[in-house]
Structure 1
Amino acid sequence: MQASHFLSADCMDAAVTAAHAAAAILQTHALHRADLVIDFKMRNDLVSQADREAERAIVDILSQRTPDIGIIAEESGGRRGAQATWYVDPLDGTTNFLSGIPHYAVSIALVGHAGATVSGPDPLTHDTPLIGVVYDPNREELFSAMLGIGAWSNGRRIQCSGTENLSDSVLATGFPFRDFSFEHQYMPTLREAMGATRGVRRLGSAALDLAWTACGRYDGYWEMGLSPWDVAAGVALVRAAGGVCEDIHHRQPWPEGGYVYAANPQVADALDAMIAKHL
Structure 2
Amino acid sequence: MPPFLLTWIHCMQSFRLPLSDCLDAAVTAAHAGAAILQSYAHNRAELVIDKKMRNDLVSQADREAELAVIEILRERTPQLGIVAEESGGQTSGAATWYIDPLDGTTNFLHGIPQYAVSIALIAHAGALIEGDTPLQHDTPVIGVIYDPNREELFTAMHGVGAWLNERRINCSQTELLSESVVATGFPFRDFSFAEQYMPTLDYAINNTRGVRRLGAAALDLAWVACGRYDGYWEMGLAPWDVAAGTVIVREAGGICEDMHHRDPWPIKGYVYAGNQHTAPALDAMIQPQLKKD
| 1:82 positional shift | 2.3
Partner of 1:148: 159
How does 1:20-99 map onto structure 2 within 5 Å? Answer: 20-99=31-110
Task: Tell me, yes or no, if the aligned pair for 2:17 and 2:94 is still in contact at 8 Å.
Answer: no
Match of 2:226 among 215, 219, 224: 215
Q: 2:80 & 2:17 partners in 1: Cα distance?
A: 11
Secondary structure of 1:3's partner? coil
Matched, 1:121 2:138: no
Q: 2:83 & 2:15 partners in 1: Cα distance?
A: 19
- Whichever of the two has the greater Rg, that structure is 2
Amino acid at match of 1:104: Y
Q: 2:117 & 2:81 partners in 1: Cα distance?
A: 18
Secondary structure of 2:277's partner? helix
Partner of 2:6: none
Match of 1:3 among 15, 26, 41: 15
Amino acid at match of 1:127: D
Secondary structure of 1:5's partner? coil
Partner of 1:170: 181
Q: 1:221 & 1:242 partners in 2: Cα distance?
A: 15
* 1:170-213 alpha-carbon deviations (Å, 9 max, x no partner): 00000000100000000000000000100000000000000000
Partner of 1:14: 25
| 1:269 positional shift | 1.1
Task: Tell me, yes or no, if the aligned pair for 2:81 and 2:93 is still in contact at 8 Å.
Answer: yes
Partner of 2:5: none
Q: Give aligned-pair identity as a percent.
A: 72
Task: Tell me, yes or no, if the aligned pair for 2:257 and 2:271 is still in contact at 8 Å.
Answer: yes
Q: 1:183 & 1:233 partners in 2: Cα distance?
A: 25
Give me the TM-score of the superposition, normalised by structure 2: 0.94
Task: Tell me, yes or no, if the aligned pair for 2:37 and 2:65 is still in contact at 8 Å.
Answer: yes
Match of 1:132 among 127, 137, 143: 143
Secondary structure of 1:130's partner? strand
| 1:218 positional shift | 0.3
Q: 1:3 & 1:257 partners in 2: Cα distance?
A: 27
Secondary structure of 1:273's partner? helix
| 1:3 positional shift | 3.1
* 1:101-121 alpha-carbon deviations (Å, 9 max, x no partner): 000000000000111111111
Q: 1:69 & 1:6 partners in 2: Cα distance?
A: 11
Give me the TM-score of the superposition, normalised by structure 1: 0.98
Q: Provide structure 2 residue ranges, at least 5 long, that are not aligned to the other structure.
A: 1-11
Task: Tell me, yes or no, if the aligned pair for 2:155 and 2:248 is still in contact at 8 Å.
Answer: yes
Partner of 2:112: 101
* 1:136-187 alpha-carbon deviations (Å, 9 max, x no partner): 0000000000010000000000000000111111000000001000000000
Amino acid at match of 1:275: I
Return 261-270 or 208-217, whichever deviates more: 261-270
Q: 1:260 & 1:46 partners in 2: Cα distance?
A: 22
